[in-house]
Chains A and B, each alone.
Chain A
Amino acid sequence: MVVKGNHDFKVSREQLWIYLMDPIVLAKITPGVSRLEIIGEDKFKSVSEIKIGPVKASFTGKLKVVDKDQPASFVIKMEQLSRIGNAHVSVQMNIEEKEGGIAALAFDGKADLSGVIARTGQRVLSGVANVITREVFSALEKHIEENKQTVESEESIQSMKTIKPPELEDPIDPAINSIG
């Protein structure tokens, strides 16, 4: 399943980068993900409940952010496992600066599906991809809207940049390195 899309946000490239590096934001915008638990630097465990059309299932998975080139691009790798099939996702995220303080986010990637969803879902996969794409952008848009005030000063941007991941409660799952 190909996932592809682009959208302009009325924030600077740096601001958008900071949002996207925030696990809380990532959790908000990743379709179906209800929370991300940090399990290492740029590595998260995700818990999600996906409901798309007639399909409803719980997924557990891992997400990691790699190949970071601040503030221009990064890659999200995700593995989502469920009873009805798994998704191995790799998405290239690019942020471009446009005139007028606009950041253009473009993503391009694919989700390799397996199991029952791969075997029976073909008919509607392009619809699923569209829904997911829209969800990402609208959630991000919403988040930006809600947080406009808090990131308006350069200072706050700087302060966010220095946020460190919280102390790990669980040891890092070695399997996380095997994603993608």
Chain B
Amino acid sequence: MTKYIGKSVKRVEDKRFITGQGKYTDDIKMPGMVYAYILRSPYAHATVNSINIDAAKSAEGVVAIYTGADIPEAIAGVPCGWQVNFKNGDIMKEPPHPLLVRKKVRHVGDGVAIIIADTRANAKDASELVDVDYDLHDAVTDPKAAAQPGAPLVHADAPNNIAFDWQLGNPKEEVAAALASAAHVTELDFVNQRMIPNAMEPRSAIGHYDTAYDKYTLYTSTQNPHLTRLLMCAFVLGLPEHKVRVVGPDVGGGFGSKIFHYIEEALVVWCSKQIELPIKWTCDRSEAFLTDAHGRDHVTNAKMGFDADGKIVALQANTFANMGAYLSTFAPAVPTYLHGTLLQGLYTTPKINVDVTATFTHTNAVDAYRGAGRPEATFLLERLIDLAALEMEMDPTELRFKNFIPAFDGVEQEGYVTQVALQYDSGNYAPVLTRALEMVGYEAFREEQKNQKGDKLLGIGFSTYVEACGIAPSAVVGALGARAGLFESAQVRVQPTGKVSVYTGSHSHGQGHETTFAQVVADRMGIPLEDVEIIHGDSDSVAFGMGTYGSRSLAVGGSAIVKSIDKVLEKGAKIAAHLLEASTDDLDYAEGKWTVKGTDKSVGFGDVSLTAYVPHNYPEGLEPGLDFSSFYDPANFTYPFGAHVAIVEIDKETGFTKLKRFIAVDDVGNVINPMIVDGQIHGGLAQGIGQAMLEGAIYDETGQLINGSYMDYCMPRADDFPSFEVDRTVTPCPHNPLGVKGAGEAGCIGSTPAVVNAVIDALWKGGHKVKDVKMPMTPERVWTAMQG
């Protein structure tokens, strides 16, 4: 009964986007709307002596100006949603992140004043008249340097700038002992550089306080409107939640950066209450560079030990993780529970210890960015194992096959329990790599590489990964420090005519939920796809939601929908049984109708739904209506995996590296819409490859983001890539009803180390035995590596 599931159904949401009818936050105009511009600190670390707004106040069109001093002390700022404790049990340092700075600016872009005027232009013009007098202080931007004695302090109450330290796994001494007796130890120091998410839609927020209804509305470019509402109401502004509506209309990409509750959202709402007018704030790209939460930024030392056979015996990973100046919503979870817990990878490593020091620096906040922690973990493991293969003169694929965890389906065989606190659901790792090698034509490539002459160096790099998706199980995440449950809700409302409205808490901003979810609903209910409407993104229409992140929408949000469908069909069967004068046990449901087994007596879904709302002839004791809500809280994360292969060609004279081929074989569990899954993989690959080759934020020693525009921060373009070669294997998730795992981040998790490994392979085969080339691997860096 899969008319839609497994098919590449064309997206139902596309029409509005290809005709220019999409409605993003900045497209919304409200009567009487005024515009906000936020004046931001040009300095990374300074004391604000005074702010003079007199001239700006009387500038043309100015409605109001607020500074930190105008915001009541009770409004402390935006909260952090995840608590990680120090090794000694102390609670992490969580300094306030104020809506507007009162005394001290801590990164370039910290908000100093909000200027509200009748037009954007007037707000911007007036901002130039605000006179802020600063006292400058030294800044620190590197996460490791920040923890050294004498480094400039970001917050007075966080000594050595340490937000928390943390470790997981086997005792350090055991790991050290295993490493000491290993036949070979590969050690690597590397930087997983800071990334800027760069969703194409710059962030935007409209706050509107409606005096007539005493109600607040916030339109915002968010991945999870309900979470924003919860945080803003309960922890920031102290507003009654039932009087607040948060809408995430069409959102132009998120990649993690729109998960978090940002100060601008709370600011426009608070200001709107003060002036009783709707206020729109939309950031310029320059502002986005400075204030969208960044990603990655780890400085790591890691050691992997092997026995004489090439079996991994131990792993020690020590990481300094940059938090930026403040703890963003999920920041503490990223280097810890989304990174440390993944260091088992798909290998049988018996001893693992991971040690993380999270530090504050005078930089913008760092939080989840596509993959969040898992790309860093994969990078660590896959760089080490590829490098080890070079050092031990083994084939990198052979070394992996040797160390893979044997297949387990989570049903017949137990889930795999790791040394770092997780139990994988199901996995079958060898076939993805085998398939990738077939696609590459591995032996032929090695032959070609061996025989290469001339002015180019060929290299091949591998990466195999396992990741954790479906960030949800509330009991698990609660034990790990999440301050909220991470379930999902769904309501399936059958209309009297049999049309179905589905309300999901999983917001869609490019993932195609309106299609994928509809496929699930249509197939499960046996009705045409056109009869299903997926509604998301509005806290007034969707009862509740935890939002879209961590590749969780289908596994968690989709499962919640399935639960509601089951309830609908269960009640529908009772009505059908009544109409057919049969017992529910005697009914079969298929293709939109209930049939009495072994007869041709049947009743259609539409008749049942009409009966539910026009219950003239109706089962006794049954409530009218056909409308069910569910909350789904899964038993475990899901664990997709895959194998990625990059082939590069280096120009010996210039170091310019061309990505010639990229092969990705991913196993994301069952697939509802292959076209959409492939699209998710493609996008992830581009971002992961972008990190390896092109992207990376650069702060100078004074804390200035010196590549804060598209003229210097290199966004990947179409001609930076070849066509991607993707395929998949299918190992269903054993614990959710759809058997799905999640596909949103896979491409971004697997690809980065594959590309770096390919460059290192090319260099070694060309006689340059370097351990690392810093990302992004610019031509100059690769060229420099060849000069040694």
Q: Are A and B in contact, CB atoms below 8 Å, in the complex?
A: yes
Whether B157 is near chain A, meaning CB under 8 Å from some CB there, is no
Whether A175 is near chain B, meaning CB under 8 Å from some CB there, is yes
A119 touches B135 (CB 8 A): no
**Which chain A residues in 78-107 approach chain B with CB under 8 Å?**
83, 85-86, 88
CA distance A88 to B700 in the complex (A): 14
A83-B128, A114-B43, A114-B108 known; A119+B706 contact, CB < 8 A = yes
B289 touches A119 (CB 8 A): yes
Cβ contacts under 8 Å, B711 to chain A? 120, 123
Cβ contacts under 8 Å, B136 to chain A? 88
B708 touches A120 (CB 8 A): yes
Cβ contacts under 8 Å, B448 to chain A? none
User: Interface size on B (CB < 8 Å)?
Assistant: 20
Instruction: Tell me which of A83, A116, A122, A178 contacts B135 (CB under 8 A).
Output: A178
A83-B128, A86-B42, A114-B108 known; A119+B133 contact, CB < 8 A = no
A83-B128, A88-B136 known; A119+B705 contact, CB < 8 A = yes
For A113, give the chain B residue with the smallest CB separation. B704
Min CB–CB distance B121 → chain A (angstroms): 15
Cβ contacts under 8 Å, A114 to chain B? 42-43, 108, 702, 704
Q: Which residue, of B133, B135, B136, B289, has the highest number of chain A Cβ atoms within 10 A?
A: B136
Min CB–CB distance A77 → chain B (angstroms): 12
Whether A152 is near chain B, meaning CB under 8 Å from some CB there, is no
For B128, give the chain A residue with the smallest CB separation. A83
Whether A115 is near chain B, meaning CB under 8 Å from some CB there, is yes
CA distance A118 to B109 in the complex (A): 13
Cβ contacts under 8 Å, B704 to chain A? 112-114, 118-119
Instruction: Tell me which of A112, A116, A123 contacts B702 (CB under 8 A).
Output: A112
Instruction: Tell me which of A86, A118, A175 contacts B706 (CB under 8 A).
Output: A118
Cβ contacts under 8 Å, A178 to chain B? 135
Cβ contacts under 8 Å, A123 to chain B? 711-712
Whether B8 is near chain A, meaning CB under 8 Å from some CB there, is no
CA distance A122 to B704 in the complex (A): 11
Whether B709 is near chain A, meaning CB under 8 Å from some CB there, is yes
CA distance A128 to B43 in the complex (A): 21
B42 touches A115 (CB 8 A): yes
Cβ contacts under 8 Å, A88 to chain B? 136
Min CB–CB distance A78 → chain B (angstroms): 13
CA distance A118 to B711 in the complex (A): 12
B42 touches A175 (CB 8 A): no
Whether B654 is near chain A, meaning CB under 8 Å from some CB there, is no
Q: 1/0 contact trace for B123-157 toward A, CB 8 Å? A: 00000100001011000000000000000000000
For B290, give the chain A residue with the smallest CB separation. A119
For B712, give the chain A residue with the smallest CB separation. A122
Whether B286 is near chain A, meaning CB under 8 Å from some CB there, is yes
**Which chain B residues in 62-120 approach chain A with CB under 8 Å?**
108
B709 touches A119 (CB 8 A): yes
| A116-B286, A118-B704, A120-B711 given; 20 more Cβ-contact pairs under 8 Å | A83-B128, A85-B42, A112-B704, A113-B704, A114-B43, A114-B108, A114-B704, A118-B42, A118-B708, A119-B286, A119-B289, A119-B704, A119-B705, A119-B706, A119-B707, A119-B709, A120-B708, A120-B709, A120-B712, A122-B707
B residues whose Cβ falls under 8 Å from a Cβ of A: 42-43, 108, 128, 133, 135-136, 286, 289-290, 700, 702, 704-709, 711-712
Which 4 residue pairs are nearest across A and B when measured between Cβ atoms?
Answer: A119-B708, A114-B42, A118-B704, A115-B42
8 sample A-B contacts, Cβ–Cβ < 8 Å, listed by A number: A118-B42, A118-B700, A118-B704, A118-B708, A119-B289, A119-B707, A120-B709, A122-B712
